């Protein structure tokens, strides 16, 4: 590990906590927001449900060497005494707001306790998750997301000597392949569903962003094949083989120990939607949180930055996070000054998203008995007659399980065109003790609003 | 670092997540589905909840939990009484 674990400066001690700016997510956007807002002197709390800060791209772990910028940002955060970082802490729902609060109160929970966090402003840096599409065998142990494989390796998963197939779409496949190879695995295939034409078009644009072009060169993999997608994973108790469709109706079956599939990203908007924020971020097919030129969402006091507004990589997230931090601290000119820098990375995001449209054939992978909702074991056949998301929930329990439709909601949106309904209380499974604590009155009010 | 998985001792490097530790034991199952199938981590980042396990009587997501010395982990979520769904 590169740095000692950043510990909270003060442990929460009551059922109610207050801060000026509450940042949800400690990835590049959340860290940047905190660092931009910190010099204002505002009291800042960052929460993240992972054990360590960094988000997905700067995920730390037993054998990770973090990029220099990630290390610098982490070190910088610890130098600000007005910034409190709470890892292993998730937002589970809405709390009761206090009179005078501009932003909603959020109900938080860590491994030991739950409490209501009050704040003047909220900055949502909730990132994105992978689009995971159902295919026969996708519930077998050993099948993961592509980013998930990276995350698990960084968290200590030993893949030495294992044969791994990575399939899906986008640059994340190559990044996952590089991580797996460095960890001692043999990546026997990187199956990119987009055609070579699309990949060449993407590569041709990269010189506009030299750091990205250089990065791409280091990631190229000899086992990369275009116009290739997963058909089925076979095995009894774990992955044994994967069947891939190659271009021109040809197939190949590869023996392997793991299959990692990612079909692009889905912005994490559940919390924003629960707060009432509009969707419509332009770089997300309308799926991301909508923000104005100061990263303000449609809800007063709530800002958003990074992949939850649409995806475009860590550089865009860093700029947006910085802008959101400045704006949340009331320093609008500082935020506005970064518009040209943001435009540059939004251009990259546009090229990225235009280059990897999903093949229609990916909608036909699931067979009648293929589970679509993994929490409630709802097969594809049970969903084909349903009229929409709510109808499916009511009749099949699709989306009613522990993940609250985060996996199958995005999948059915892609497969059937259903629009998952905005989440309601609660956002995530919560302990009874957390819910019991959230209604008690605050014991003191040391809070000084931002001027 | 020593942990205990379903009563059996296991040694893992410091800083390892519970999900990564369980994966050392093929096939790395974490829970049992509502129709009885074995499941293992899918998203690796706290979204899918496939990796929920029981640690000291409470349900935790294995991918977001770091192993600590002596931690006792049970992969019976979905089958043990009182652990049917969460």
Higher confidence at residue A244 or residue A428?
A: A244
Measured between CA atoms, the residue of chain A closest to residue B63 is A152
Rounded to whole angstroms, how far apart are CA atoms A56 and A239? 25
Cα dist. A28→A320, A376, B43 in Å? 10, 34, 20
CB atoms within 10 A of CB A286: 11
Measured between CA atoms, the residue of chain B closest to residue A130 is B43
CB B62 within 8 A of CB B41: yes
Q: Does residue B28 belong to the interface with chain A, where contact is any CB pair within 8 Å? A: yes
Rounded to whole angstroms, how far apart are CA atoms A73 and A205? 30
CB A356 within 8 A of CB A194: yes
Ranges of beta strands (E only) in A169-286 are: 186-192, 224-225, 229-234, 241-245, 251-255, 258-262, 265-267, 279-281
Supply the DSSP string of A283-338, one letter for each residue: BTTT-EEP--TTSB-SSTTEEE-TTBTB---HHHHHHHHHHHHHHHTT-HHHHHTT
Q: Which two tokens stand for residue A445?
A: 């009010």
For the cut 50, the answer to whether the pLDDT of residue A138 exceeds it is yes
Q: How confident is the model at residue A312 (pLDDT cuts 50, 70, 90)?
A: confident
**pLDDT for position B85:** 45
Average pLDDT of chain A to the nearest whole number? 91
Contact A402 B23 (CB under 8 A): no
Count of residues in chain B: 86
Q: Which two tokens stand for residue A206?
A: 């990269």
Contact A62 B47 (CB under 8 A): no
Output the pTM of the full model.
0.92
Going by C-beta distance under 8 Å and a sequence separation of 6 or more, which residues neighbour residue A343?
Answer: none
Nearest CB to A56: which of B20, B45, B60? B45
For the cut 60, the answer to whether the pLDDT of residue A135 exceeds it is yes
In a mutational test of the B interface, the residue from A152, A377, A397 whose CB has the highest number of chain B CBs within 10 Å is: A152
CB B40 within 8 A of CB A141: yes
The share of chain A scoring above pLDDT 90, in percent, equals 76
Q: Does residue B12 belong to the interface with chain A, where contact is any CB pair within 8 Å? A: yes
Q: Give mean pLDDT, residues A368-397.
A: 97
Q: Regarding beta strands B58-61 and B52-55, do their DSSP bridges make them parallel or antiparallel, or are they unpaired?
A: antiparallel
Q: Give mean pLDDT, residues B68-85.
A: 76
Listed range (A99-108, A389-398, A416-425, A433-442) with the worst mean pLDDT: A433-442
ipTM over 0.85: yes
**pLDDT for position A247:** 76
Cα dist. A273→A270, A302, A425 in Å? 5, 11, 11
Rounded to whole angstroms, how far apart are CA atoms B59 and A9? 27
Q: Does residue B85 belong to the interface with chain A, where contact is any CB pair within 8 Å? A: yes
Listed range (A44-58, A87-101, B9-23) with the worst mean pLDDT: A87-101
- HSE, side-chain direction, 13 A CA sphere, residue A50: 31
pLDDT tens-digit profile of B22-74?
998 877 899 999 999 999 999 999 999 999 999 988 889 999 999 999 999 99
From B35's Cα to the closest Cα of chain A, the distance in A is 7
Going by C-beta distance under 8 Å and a sequence separation of 6 or more, which residues neighbour residue B37?
Answer: A139, A377
Measured between CA atoms, the residue of chain A closest to residue B21 is A157
Q: How confident is the model at residue A96 (pLDDT cuts 50, 70, 90)?
A: confident
């Amino acid at each position: 590990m590169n740095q000692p674990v950043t510990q909270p400066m003060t442990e929460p001690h009551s059922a109610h906590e207050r801060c000026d700016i509450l940042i949800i997510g400690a990835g590049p956007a959340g860290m940047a927001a905190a660092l931009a807002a910190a010099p204002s002197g505002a009291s800042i709390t960052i929460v993240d449900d992972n054990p360590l800060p960094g988000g997905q791209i700067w995920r730390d772990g037993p054998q990770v060497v973090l990029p220099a910028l990630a290390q610098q940002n982490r070190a910088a955060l610890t130098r600000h005494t007005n910034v409190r970082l709470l890892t292993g802490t998730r937002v589970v729902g809405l709390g009761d707001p206090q009179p005078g609060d501009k932003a909603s109160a959020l109900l938080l929970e860590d491994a030991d306790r739950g409490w209501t966090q009050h704040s003047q402003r909220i900055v949502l840096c909730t990132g994105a998750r992978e689009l995971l599409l159902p295919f026969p065998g996708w519930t077998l142990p050993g099948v993961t997301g592509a980013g998930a494989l990276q995350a698990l390796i960084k968290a200590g998963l030993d893949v030495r000597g294992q044969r791994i197939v990575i399939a899906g779409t986008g640059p994340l496949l190559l990044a996952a392949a590089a991580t797996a190879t460095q960890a001692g695995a043999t990546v026997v295939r990187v199956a990119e569903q987009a055609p070579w034409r699309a990949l060449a078009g993407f590569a041709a644009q990269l010189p506009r962003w030299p750091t990205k072009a250089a990065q791409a060169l280091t990631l190229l993999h000899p086992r990369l094949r275009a116009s290739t997608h997963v058909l089925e994973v076979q095995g009894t108790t774990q992955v044994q083989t994967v069947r891939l469709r190659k271009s021109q109706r040809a197939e190949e079956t590869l023996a392997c120990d793991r299959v990692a599939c990612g079909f692009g990203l889905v912005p994490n908007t559940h919390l924003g939607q629960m707060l009432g924020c509009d969707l419509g971020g332009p770089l997300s097919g309308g799926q991301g949180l909508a923000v104005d030129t100061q990263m303000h969402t449609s809800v007063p006091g709530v800002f958003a930055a990074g992949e939850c507004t649409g995806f475009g990589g860590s550089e865009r997230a860093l700029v947006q996070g910085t802008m959101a931090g400045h704006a949340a601290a009331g320093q609008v000119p500082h935020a506005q000054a970064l518009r040209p820098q943001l435009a540059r990375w939004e251009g990259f995001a546009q090229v990225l998203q235009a280059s990897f449209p999903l093949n229609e054939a990916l909608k036909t992978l699931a067979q009648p008995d293929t589970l679509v909702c993994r929490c409630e074991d709802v097969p594809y056949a049970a969903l084909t007659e349903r009229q929409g998301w709510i109808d499916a929930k009511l009749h099949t329990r699709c989306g009613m399980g522990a993940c609250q439709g985060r996996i199958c909601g995005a999948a059915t949106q892609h497969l059937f065109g259903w629009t998952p309904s905005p989440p309601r209380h609660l956002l995530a499974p919560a302990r009874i003790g957390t819910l019991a604590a959230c209604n008690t009155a605050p014991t003191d009010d040391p809070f000084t609003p931002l001027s | 670092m020593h942990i205990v998985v379903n009563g059996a001792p296991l040694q893992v490097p410091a800083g390892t997540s519970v999900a990564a530790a369980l994966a050392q034991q093929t096939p790395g199952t974490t829970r049992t589905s509502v129709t009885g199938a074995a499941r293992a981590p899918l998203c690796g980042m706290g979204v899918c909840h496939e990796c929920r396990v029981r640690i000291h009587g409470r349900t935790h997501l294995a991918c977001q939990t770091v192993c600590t010395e002596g931690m006792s982990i049970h992969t019976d979520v979905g089958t043990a009484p009182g652990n049917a769904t969460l």
